[in-house]
Structure 1
């Protein structure tokens, strides 16, 4: 099953993420994107299974059981949810392309935080499709194995 980008921007390999939790793949493999848009979309059809109170991270269980972590920014938990407007809640069913969040990335940058968005497969191996260059939400970034 293909997993699509959650945001438009510049895709980059996880090796280049400044947080070792992601660059060392402690939670799983995936991709990172430097966002050029404030809207975050569902990468798959599935269900919202986790949403941090601070709105900086959420979990999606795909229809085939794959679990994906979407983490917005690095250390943005410290912003206590201020730059995030959630459009879904735990238990909601989502389709690929559904709007999940709107994010005030300029506020995150102004506050001194990294805006990189990570999409991680936490319970599956992946095959990368695209982890560098410009990407849109219409392009798959990896395939679940």
Structure 2
């Protein structure tokens, strides 16, 4: 039962963020930052262009790119003296392979059947499909991080 409560809470949080104007890529990152009790408005702004496919072109799903960005927060290069963690590439490969298998593709238009973005913004069915992709992906990112000895919510 506890897992269901966690999933319901996650869905409610995602719903609130969507209603606040955030989109898929930003929602995943904002939730991860909130887990760490951190804010990074610049990062959220930068991710805005990856929502609704890259550049509002319904191709590569923003949830896919957000997951890769989250993995990068934990294992990617962040300064001149740093290198990506040895597991980083395999973590990204694990996530992208899982994503494609789980959702039978990586393109936004294929995953949710987007016909037009005007219709997308007003159609609750599309938002529910996006929500399911978001929840499953967010959980998968946490699993991949755990499998590689990272503690989700703590990068210190």
TM-score bracket, normalised by the shorter chain, equals: 0.3 to 0.5
The two structures have a TM-score, normalised by structure 2, of: 0.32
Instruction: Compare the two structures and name the one with the higher helix fraction.
Output: 2
Instruction: Compare the two structures and name the one with the higher strand fraction.
Output: 1
The two structures have a TM-score, normalised by structure 1, of: 0.34
Give the structure, 1 or 2, with the largest relative contact order (CA under 8 Å, sep 6 or more). Answer: 1
